[in-house]
Structure 1
Amino acid sequence: MSPSTQGGAVTVRGTVVIDVEACKGCDLCIDACPPRVLEMTVHEVNTRGYRYPRLLAGCTGCQACAQICPDFVFQVYKYDTPLELPLEDQNEQ
């Protein structure tokens, strides 16, 4: 399943704050994310040398990432009202 898009916009129902420094790069969150809006960095690492997840637009606030993470790096916030973001602004949530 991918984020819902309509007319050049994406519907965002939540957001995630990621503690990049606590992440060990296990990738469990990437596979657990139903809307597939998490991706691992490729050329960036935290101060401990681990790749970390980056949030793309389309988060539903489902908390799957927070539930599976062994290092508790996610804080999930679900919006009361979904937001419609233009596709060009999708990484600025």
Structure 2
Amino acid sequence: MPRPVFNIEKCKACEMCIQACPKKLLELSGSFNKKGYSIVHCNDDNSCIGCTLCARMCPDAVIEIYK
């Protein structure tokens, strides 16, 4: 199963990945990284289809999709 992996320290919570996900699996977690930005996470790894839209939309290359 594909799953997104986030480099949480690089995330700036721009939410572009959240908007790009066709399955609406990404959301802000409520946790924060060292810079004070809210962290994005996948709310259901098993439903990820591995389309990579989230990773392609991220301006800071925070997301990698592992298959």
State the TM-score, normalizing by the size of structure 1: 0.66
The aligned counterpart of 2:66 is: 77
Letter in 2 for 1:56: N
- Separation in 2 of the partners of 1:16 and 1:27? 15
Structure 1: runs of 5 or more not aligned: 1-12, 79-93
Number of corresponding residues: 65
The aligned counterpart of 1:68 is: 57
Partner SS, residue 9 of structure 2: helix
Partner SS, residue 29 of structure 1: helix
- Separation in 1 of the partners of 2:39 and 2:60? 12
CA RMSD of the aligned region, Å? 1.0
How much does 1:62 deviate?
0.5
Mapping 1:11-50, distance limit 5 Å: 13-42=1-30, 44-50=31-37
The aligned counterpart of 1:51 is: 38
Task: Kindly report structure 1 stretches of 4+ aligned residues shifted beyond 3 Å.
Answer: none
More RCO (CA 8 Å, sep 6+) = 2
**Higher Cα Rg, which structure:** 1
- Separation in 1 of the partners of 2:49 and 2:28? 18
How much does 1:14 deviate?
1.1
Letter in 2 for 1:26: C
